[in-house]
Structure 1
Amino acid sequence: MVKISLQINAQLENVTELQPADQEDFGWCMKLQCMNCNEETPDFVFCCLSESSEVSGGRGSASLVIKCKLCKRENSIDIIKDSLSSYMSEDSGKFKTIVTFDCRGVQPIEFKPNDGWKVKAEGEKSNATFELELTENEWYDYDEKASESVSVTEFKYQFK
């Protein structure tokens, strides 16, 4: 069992919190690598907290169970529910862990933020929530109540 954390880094403008809109159903979109033969998944796969698959041999269940196409080994990745956290305004410009995966035989090597995120813009004049896509690694909008722009830019990630 190897625990691998996804850390993100972004510049937040007039945004107090960035997180998946629905943490239970959010699809963490990743490419994976088999730790036995180093074969990579050709396509992105989704790992979701609300979904569970049985691991063969009665070893419990995991968020995603995948068989390596090269060595035929069954691997799994499970989201550690207690590890989920938001990226806050005070984290802006720094890497912060937002989720940790329990990896068995596989490791994430690439992450695609996709859609299904939300940001909060809380202040004296506004308490707005925006649903957004981060497919381009940036997002811009305008908070009507506060009369100011809101954005998430320079989105980056790393696995630790």
Structure 2
Amino acid sequence: MVNYLLMISADLENITNLQPQGGCDDPNFSYHFKLRCGNCGEVTSKETCVTLSETVPLTKSKGTTNLVQKCKFCGRDGTITMIPGRGSPLTLELSESGKFAPLMAFDCRGFEPMDFVFATGWRAESIEGTKFDEIDLSGDDFTEYDEKGECPVMISNFRATFEVSK
């Protein structure tokens, strides 16, 4: 069993607290990423979707997991179980210092997550306090204008990495 922590970063301009719409432990936020088989090294051709609110029973032991998937190349099963409570928003301070913010932890058995895909369902707020909901990060960048603060806001250069964690 290896735990991976999804770490995100982006260039933020006049905006802070980037996170999933319902917070870092949003049960309905979908995480999309590719998987590498721990047995044969094959990488999935399509992104896999994992959501905290969706669970499936484990077949060979007690309990549940968020994903059970079979490698299409070697046929081995692997599981991914999400571990909430480890995430925090990406702040303007972290962005300006080039640091990453932890978003979600994954207990991976038989698979290694890679290539996280930024999509829809994010929220953030301007440095003046204006809230921006349902942000779509599937494009190149997010740009808006904060009427209250009278300044442009922008999220660009999205980056993600998976770090091995305890």
TM-score, shorter chain, exceeding 0.5: yes
1:99 corresponds in structure 2 to 104
Normalising to structure 2: TM-score of the pair? 0.89
1:111 corresponds in structure 2 to 116
Is contact 2:70-2:76 (8 Å) kept?
yes
**Superposition misfits of 4+ residues, deviation over 6 angstroms:** none
1:120 corresponds in structure 2 to 125
Give, in whole Å, the separation in 1 of the partners of 2:131 and 2:121. 16
SS at match of 2:93: helix
Give, in whole Å, the separation in 1 of the partners of 2:88 and 2:70. 29
Is contact 1:128-1:143 (8 Å) kept?
no
Is contact 1:39-1:70 (8 Å) kept?
yes
Count the aligned residue pairs: 158
Cα drift, residue 137 of structure 1:
4.2
1:138 corresponds in structure 2 to 141
Gaps spanning 5+ residues in structure 1: where?
Answer: none
RMSD: 1.4
Gaps spanning 5+ residues in structure 2: where?
Answer: none
**Structure 2 residue 69 is matched with structure 1 residue 66:** yes
| CA-to-aligned-CA distance 1:1-39 (integer Å, 9 cap, x gap) | 101111112111111210011311000001101101112
Give, in whole Å, the separation in 2 of the partners of 1:155 and 1:137. 8
SS at match of 1:50: coil
Normalising to structure 1: TM-score of the pair? 0.92
Letter in structure 1 aligned against 2:29 = F
